[in-house]
Amino acid sequence: MGQANEGAPTLVIREATEADWPRIWPFFSAIVAAGETYAYPEDLTLETARPLWMDGHVVVATDGTTVLGTAKMGPNRPGRGAHIANASFMVDPAHQGRGVGRALGRYAVEWARRAGYHAMQFNAVVETNTTAVALWRSLGFEILATVPEAFNHPVHGLVGLHIMYQRLAPEARDPSEPAPLAQP
Ligand SMILES: CC(C)(COP(=O)(O)OP(=O)(O)OC[C@H]1O[C@@H](n2cnc3c(N)ncnc32)[C@H](O)[C@@H]1OP(=O)(O)O)[C@@H](O)C(=O)NCCC(=O)NCCS
């Protein structure tokens, strides 16, 4: 659990429960329907969307009564890719621009660092989502590459998807040095 947004009403980030999902769903579905930031299937329902979001470490940002936003995080790939974390974020459009997304982003990076992930990667940040791109950059992410014309934006047509990345491990190993011995 964490606090953020000094000077504003208290913002609490806590682990989501199943009871939170019906409170997430209205803005989840609005953001997906807007079609500008995520490539989820367009025919999702309260029930079919639930396992897509309520999976891994899921948190909500609340002001004590209202769910303002949510984030989910966990391994980006299974098995041998599981040391790289991934995260996704949605803030209720009615509550965007108040620091909720920044607080959730900070939380996710700190969560991944504490969990021992080597890095955090966002696989598909829509290049026209300039608010998100600037926010993730300000939290230490860089754009590794942009997959051209990978997202069919309802206004801008085919636009790129950025792969954004931040190393979390404390220091890079010199490749000329012998690899550390595996821990028993
Ligand atoms: C991207 C998103 C998570 C950001 O959440 P948010 O609560 O609106 O963001 P914050 O209020 O913390 O603002 C973060 C920064 O973006 C800026 N910002 C927020 N909304 C903005 C807007 N509409 N236009 C321009 N800048 C904006 C803020 O000024 C802030 O910058 P600052 O801290 O330097 O002042 C949220 O807009 C969202 O859920 N969007 C739809 C889904 C999405 O895009 N998810 C991320 C996919 S990668």
pLDDT in tens, 100-147: 999 999 999 999 999 999 999 999 999 999 999 999 999 999 999 999
Which single residue is written with the structure tokens 């990667």? 121
pLDDT of residue 171: 74
For the chain, 184 residues long, the average pLDDT of each consecutive 10-residue run is 56 97 98 97 96 97 97 98 98 98 98 98 98 98 98 98 96 68 52
Does residue 152 lie in a domain region?
A: no
Phi–psi pair at 152, nearest 5 degrees = -95, 90
Q: Which of 100, 28, 17 is nearest to 61 (CA)?
A: 100
Mutate to test the pocket of ligand 1, among 98, 102, 143 (most ligand atoms within 8 A of CB): 102
pLDDT of residue 184: 45
Q: Is 96 in the pocket of ligand 1 (CB under 6 A)?
A: yes
Phi–psi pair at 183, nearest 5 degrees = -75, 140
Which single residue is written with the structure tokens 């490539």? 39
Does residue 89 lie in a domain region?
A: yes
Does residue 59 lie in a domain region?
A: yes
Distance CA 62, CA 16 (A): 10
pLDDT of residue 5: 46
Nearest CA to ligand 1 atom 31: 135
Does residue 155 lie in a domain region?
A: no
Nearest CA to ligand 1 atom 10: 99
Which single residue is written with the structure tokens 């989820």? 40
- 97 C-alpha to ligand 1 centroid (Å): 5
pLDDT of residue 133: 98
Q: Count up the domains in the chain and report the number.
A: 1
pLDDT of residue 80: 97
Does residue 149 lie in a domain region?
A: no
The CATH number of the domain holding residue 65 is: 3.40.630.30
pLDDT of residue 177: 74
The model's pTM: 0.90
- 71 C-alpha to ligand 1 centroid (Å): 13
Domain of 106, in residue numbers: 2-118
pLDDT of residue 154: 97
Does residue 160 lie in a domain region?
A: no
Does residue 88 lie in a domain region?
A: yes
Q: Is 24 in the pocket of ligand 1 (CB under 6 A)?
A: no
Residue 115 contacts residue 75 (beta carbons within 8 Å): no
Does residue 150 lie in a domain region?
A: no
